[in-house]
């Protein structure tokens, strides 16, 4: 066998093993931290979703609840991450918002934004409570209802909702303080530093903008921003 043939055979074996790889329900050994991602740079949601997919790839049950973002009709028909989540076992999502962004001239109502953010907060409380009632030291059904518990909960843009006065910072803090000890909680959003979380979060990352295409007139692009 030539060196080239050997490389090809190894490649085939690797491809076969990847094709045969299956995600099976499992439970994390060291979950339970609080992560906060904030700043004026691009990448907060992207980082949170990256962790969500990583955890789901290990068979841990993950749920993503998005504040201030809609489902269908948001930007286009659907955000790319929703299609990816739908194709991935162990991870699910839901929205607490609609097309538009608070404070912009897009015909969206401040009252609507506030109502939806508060509904999202109540939903977040329900999910945290459900995790507290579940045995998170055990595997959870990959396609199970998040109301039966999750190992990781991502509250995307909740810090923006607090920053913009749609919900109170104290209500976010209550979620953090009330979570079960082995639930990994990830919160994102806000251009303003969430000082109120610093004594309660284990990881705080500022995503800073040095240069952004929006500043030079580029609009959100399919596949990168949605």
Question: What is the spatial distance between Cα 208 and Cα 206, in angstroms, rounded to a whole number?
Answer: 6
Which pTM value belongs to this model? 0.82
Candidates 51, 59, 22; CA nearest to 138 is: 59
User: In 68-168, which ranges are E strands?
Assistant: 91-96, 152-156
Pairing of strands 203-206, 34-38: parallel
- Give the pLDDT score at 223: 64
User: In the chain, which ranges are E strands?
Assistant: 34-38, 62-67, 91-96, 152-156, 184-188, 203-206
Which structure tokens are listed for 214? Answer: 């929006």
Which structure tokens are listed for 143? Answer: 């396609």
Question: What is the spatial distance between Cα 69 and Cα 189, in angstroms, rounded to a whole number?
Answer: 12
- Give the pLDDT score at 110: 65
Question: What is the spatial distance between Cα 84 and Cα 15, in angstroms, rounded to a whole number?
Answer: 21
| SS3 state at 48 | helix
CATH architecture for the domain at 25-216: 3-Layer(aba) Sandwich (3.40)
Helix (H) or strand (E) holding 36, with range, is: strand 34-38
| Tens place of pLDDT per residue across the chain (226 aa) | 444 444 444 445 545 455 668 999 999 999 999 999 999 888 899 999 999 999 999 999 999 999 987 644 444 456 778 889 999 999 999 988 765 554 444 455 567 778 889 999 999 999 999 999 999 999 999 999 999 999 999 999 999 999 989 999 999 999 999 999 999 999 999 989 999 999 999 999 998 766 766 667 766 666 666 6
- Give the pLDDT score at 100: 53
- Give the pLDDT score at 126: 98
């Amino acid at each position: 066998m030539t060196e080239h043939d050997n490389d090809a055979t190894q490649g085939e074996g690797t491809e076969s093993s990847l094709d045969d790889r299956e995600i099976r329900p499992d439970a994390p050994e060291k979950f339970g931290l609080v992560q906060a991602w904030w700043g004026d740079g691009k990448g907060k949601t992207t980082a949170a979703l990256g962790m969500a997919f990583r955890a789901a790839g290990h068979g841990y049950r993950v749920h993503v609840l998005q504040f201030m973002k809609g489902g269908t009709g948001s930007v286009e028909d659907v955000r790319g991450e929703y299609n990816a989540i739908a194709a991935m076992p162990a991870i699910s999502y839901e929205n607490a918002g609609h097309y538009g962004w608070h404070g912009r001239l897009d015909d969206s109502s401040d009252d609507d934004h506030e109502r939806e953010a508060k509904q999202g907060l109540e939903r977040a409380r329900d999910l945290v409570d459900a995790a507290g009632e579940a045995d998170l030291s055990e595997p959870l059904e990959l396609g199970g209802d998040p109301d039966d518990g999750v190992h990781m909960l991502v509250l995307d843009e909740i810090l923006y909702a607090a920053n913009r006065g749609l919900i109170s910072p104290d209500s976010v803090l209550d979620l953090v303080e009330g979570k079960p000890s082995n639930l990994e909680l990830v919160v994102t959003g806000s251009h303003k530093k969430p000082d109120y979380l610093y004594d309660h979060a284990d990881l705080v990352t500022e995503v800073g903008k040095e240069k952004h295409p929006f500043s030079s007139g580029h609009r959100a692009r399919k596949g990168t921003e949605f």
